[in-house]
Amino acid sequence: MKKKVIAYDKNGRQTEKEINYIPFRYILAILLTAAETIAVLAIVIALMYYIPYFSIAVWITQIFVLLQIVNSNDNPDYKIPWLLVVLIIPVAGFMIYFMYYSRKFPKKFIRRLEELNDVKIKDDTAELALLERGYSCLQTGFADLQNFKYTSLSEYTYEVF
């Protein structure tokens, strides 16, 4: 991102400069993601150390991830680096795979998103006009309310008696 900064040169003239910077929220998001990854890895390693059957579950999960990568329909140029990551970094490899591998949405989720896109937004200008008319009647002390009658919120009429 760029930010304009006012700077002064040797003669005291004021000039504007644009500087590039990384916003704090981006840095914070990266640090929190790294801290979360380290915390999850520490918990898994501790569980592998203290619970003997948990290490078997980790190895089964790693084999499942390897089979999933091999059987995926992705480009082999993407498969090989993921296989190397999972094989070289035993515990963290499949966790990184689960966190950062490209996700494919289920058909049910895609269908629901399409339904949300097809929803028509209700035009509520009539209701707003009715509310504004009622508010103006409140301001004038109901002097004009006798000429105003409504049948519903979406249909209103203005009649002269």
Where along the chain do its domains lie?
1-48, 51-118, 125-158
- Whose CA is closest to 131, among 112, 147, 150? 150
pLDDT in tens for each of the 161 residues of the chain? 677 777 777 787 888 877 777 888 889 999 998 998 889 888 888 888 888 888 888 889 889 989 988 988 888 888 888 899 888 887 788 888 887 776 667 788 778 878 877 776 666 677 777 777 766 655 565 555 555 555 444 444 444 44
Q: Is the dihedral of CA 62, 64, 68, 70 positive or negative?
A: positive
Give the model's pLDDT for residue 161. 41
Do 153 and 126 form a contact (C-beta atoms < 8 A)? yes
Cα separation, 84 vs 76, whole angstroms: 12
The angle formed by the CA atoms of residues 40, 96 and 66, to the nearest 5 degrees, is 120
